[in-house]
Amino acid sequence: TQLLEQSPQFLSIQEGENLTVYCNSSSVFSSLQWYRQEPGEGPVLLVTVVTGGEVKKLKRLTFQFGDARKDSSLHITAAQPGDTGLYLCAGDWHGNKLVFGAGTILRVKS
């Protein structure tokens, strides 16, 4: 059973479109991280959200942590081919480890 459910699993869109990726859980996390992973490489940390209701922006990426700290979303505005990759959410579980969602594979076509 996945502690963190990510949706959708796959997303293929045209350049310039907007998209949202969701990360949901029945558990409360003290923090939640979003990573992006390219084939053959390790995950790269995009953002950490800590406070319920927190919103963080990173250029065209907007991250939100749910009020109850059980869910999060990643919104990309005007997607570009360079945004293509695997997006992973990861929750800080009991202070010792990250629990990862299965990931969302994003493909942006030019």
Partner 1 sequence: NAGVMQNPRHLVRRRGQEARLRCSPMKGHSHVYWYRQLPEEGLKFMVYLQKENIIDESGMPKERFSAEFPKEGPSILRIQQVVRGDSAAYFCASSLTSGGREQYFGPGTRLTVT
What is the contact surface with partner 1 in residues (CB under 8 A)? 2, 30-31, 33, 35, 40-45, 48, 50, 88, 90, 92-103
Q: Are 77 and 18 contacting, i.e. CB atoms less than 8 angstroms apart?
A: yes
Nearer to partner 1, 4 or 79 (CB): 4
In the complex, least distance from residue 92 CB atom to partner 1, rounded to whole angstroms: 4
In the complex, least distance from residue 75 CB atom to partner 1, rounded to whole angstroms: 22
Nearer to partner 1, 90 or 108 (CB): 90
Exposure on the CB side of residue 44, measured as CA atoms within 13 A: 10
In the complex, least distance from residue 102 CB atom to partner 1, rounded to whole angstroms: 5
Q: Which of helix, strand or coil describes residue 83?
A: helix
